[in-house]
Amino acid sequence: MNGHRRPRRRVGVLISGSGSNLQALIDACSDSESPAEIVLVISNQADAFGLTRAQNAGIATRFIDHSAYPDRTSFETEILAALAEQQVEIVCLAGFMRILTPGFVEHWEDRMLNVHPSLLPDYKGLHTHQRALDDGAEWHGCTVHLVRPALDDGPLVLQARVPVLEGDHADNLAARVLVQEHRIYPLALQLLAAGRVAVDGDTALIDGVKGPISPDALREPKYS
């Protein structure tokens, strides 16, 4: 029951779809030693399978339909209210397919994580796997970063590399990268929740080491 440790950090996850990264976060937070607990999952899509995953785990869910609001700010005001109601302290974006305004992002500065399927700063935006293939990249991968207002920007925390193999196409490369997303995203959340991530300007420091780092480079791979 978390023993003598400090209270777990309360986490909200924003999704739009399948939520396989959400599932990885849920699984990691089910460990009684986890310094993070997911208290709310918000989707802007009513049929997102991630909502079912959350409900199966007994986590509160909200569907907030972006198309029901006249602009981004009013949509985000509703999200902020839902997060505040659950006293959320850390936000994870997990396949959330809406652009967030600078105001929202700044509200959560250094308390909001995103996972992106490339070795940032390479291949910001969409279709990252195809673009890596088109470039003949030898390595591809994924990154967890703290979120800043520009697209797929912010201090890089963890990165996992995946070799691009002969005959790879976007789908199987994406599947191999996704396995690594499921590995690094929960770990990055646990590190942030445990207070092991500091920020110095545009750089994240993980246990005092400049990010992004590989999960294999962590001296203490468990939480705190």
Q: Which residues are tagged catalytic?
A: 116
For ligand GRF, the binding residues in 122-161 under the rule CB under 6 A are none
Q: Which long-range contacts (CB under 8 A, 24 or more apart) does 120-123 make?
A: 120/145, 120/152, 120/156, 120/159, 120/212, 121/153, 121/156
Indicate the SS3 state at residue 97.
coil
Q: Which is nearer to ligand GRF, 181 or 198 (CB)?
A: 181
For ligand GRF, the binding residues in 69-128 under the rule CB under 6 A are 94-95, 115-117
At 47, phi and psi to the nearest 5?
A: -100, 15
Q: Which is nearer to ligand GRF, 84 or 179 (CB)?
A: 179
| Terminal Cα-to-Cα distance of the chain (whole angstroms) | 15
Least CB distance from residue 112 to ligand GRF, whole Å? 14
Binding string, 21-40, against ligand GRF, x = CB under 6 A? xx------------------
Q: Which residue is nearest to ligand GRF (CB)?
A: 95
Interface residue with ligand GRF among 5, 18, 60, 149 (CB under 6 A) is 18
Q: Does 19 bind ligand GRF (CB under 6 A)?
A: yes
Q: Which is nearer to ligand GRF, 18 or 77 (CB)?
A: 18
Q: Which long-range contacts (CB under 8 A, 24 or more apart) does 118-121 make?
A: 118/142, 118/143, 119/143, 119/159, 119/161, 120/145, 120/152, 120/156, 120/159, 120/212, 121/153, 121/156
Residue in the structure block whose two tokens are 């797929």: 152
Which residues here bind ligand GRF, judged by CB under 6 A? 17-22, 94-95, 115-117, 178, 181
